Amino acid sequence: MAPSQPVHELSPATELQNTDDKLPFMLQSVRSEPDTLQRMKDDQLIDLIRDTDAEISKLQALQLRAIADLSVRRRRAPSASSEVALALSITEHRASAIVSAANALIARLPRMLNLMDDGRLDLYRAMKVTDATAWLSGDHVSVVDAALEDRVPGRNATQVRRAAAYAAAKVDPEGAALRTERKFVERRFALHHQDTGVTHLSVNNAPTEKATAAYARIDRAARALKTADEPRTLDQLRADVAMDLLLSGTGGPSERTEVFLHVDLETYLNLNESPAALAGRGPIAASVARHIIGGPDTTLRRVLTDPRTGQAVELSPTRYPLKGDEFIRVRDQECRQPGCTRPAQNCGIEATRTKGKAEGAADQPITYCSRHRRLKGQPGWDYEVTSNGTVNVATPAGQVHSTTPPSLNPGRRRPNRILKKPLN
């Protein structure tokens, strides 16, 4: 299906020239007179939406050039993604994808980058092209880049992804088959926590025939349970059947795992509805926390906190004999790298230099996930911890990102800070 086009014809040269002049004026107008948008006609609003989107695409192209240049300066080391993640306050997974897209657009897909420069392709859709062509050789990707130049403008992300995938498979059909095999090698079981006390489970890159068979088995079991007096929907039944099969489908006992749930005493006693905090996932509703606490296999530990900051100062040893590292993980809750939310129970403990002290003289134990334990040892990165537990991370660019010790009261948590000065 051809992409939709505006009814009236616009001259690209005139449009771009006018946009450069109109948007700053419009921004000032909206700020000074909030009802400016209400006075505009519908077609003017649509034009403004389109024009601002074009300007965003141009700025994204400039940002990608800067990111690619930084990656080159860092000799394409993975730590460049960590710098971008800290600078933009995004996850390292997202930063790594953007760095890869920037390098691909600069080196392999110059026509797609030119479309961004012209305001005709945004980053989200451009990344559909970089993902679909990442496996192609240099010669093949050049052919796809040229073939897509007139196909992707005006199309949505799904259409861009399909067009790019088709062009890539057409130019290298043998490579497309190998890509499917590689995807199968990369199969994984993923866990994605969400913001309402629920979690998303997925099996990625599973063989189609096995995934279809698994779904059919779950669907049959769910439909068998859907009697006249069953209040659950089929979707709910399928989800419940799948979880049951995963936890006890072989007839054995359910698996147990350890998570850290931080809840204050008044919430636990049902005296207030303050949110609790699940390490690695963030705030959860008080009612959900009490439901977890009420589970038959739940074990409670008392943690004493500083009444001023909410930070952990002592852990009760009543459950087991107190292990040396256990309090550190309860105290830190998550990896202490700024922006990282890996639960502390899945992290290692790394000695970190105390501010103002020589290396090794008075190091403090801090939790870091495996990725950031490696990053800590990379050239140009410097880590220190202050007397109050604040972790300062200096990047190769000289910026310092800091995180304060987490509070067991989520309402007292403070955001990460960024400074442009070296560590002392």
What per-residue confidence (pLDDT) applies to 127? 97
Inter-residue contact 240 to 260 (CB < 8 Å):
no
Range 370-394 burial, b when 16+ CB lie within 10 A, else e: ebbbebbeeeebebbbeeebbbbbb
Predicted model pTM: 0.71
Among 271-275, 385-389, 401-405, 417-421, the minimum mean pLDDT is found in: 417-421
Tell me: pLDDT of 8 over 90: no
What per-residue confidence (pLDDT) applies to 344? 87
Tell me: pLDDT of 406 over 50: yes
What per-residue confidence (pLDDT) applies to 356? 79
Reported as a single tens digit per residue, the pLDDT across 345-375 is 889 999 999 987 776 667 899 999 999 999 9
366 forms bridges with which residues in the sheet?
350
What per-residue confidence (pLDDT) applies to 408? 61
**Which is more confidently placed, 22 or 397?**
397
Tell me: pLDDT of 9 over 80: no
Inter-residue contact 249 to 267 (CB < 8 Å):
no
Per-residue pLDDT band at 18 (split at 50, 70, 90): low
Tell me: pLDDT of 56 over 90: yes
Structure tokens at 319: 């459950």
**Which is more confidently placed, 283 or 24?**
24
Instruction: Output the CA angle 105-109-110, nearest 5 degrees.
Output: 85
Tell me: pLDDT of 251 over 70: no
Q: What is the mean pLDDT of residues 310-333?
A: 67
Residues 6+ apart with CB under 8 A from 113: 61, 64, 105, 106, 126
* Averaged pLDDT of the chain: 82
Backbone phi, psi, residue 109, to 5°: -130, 60
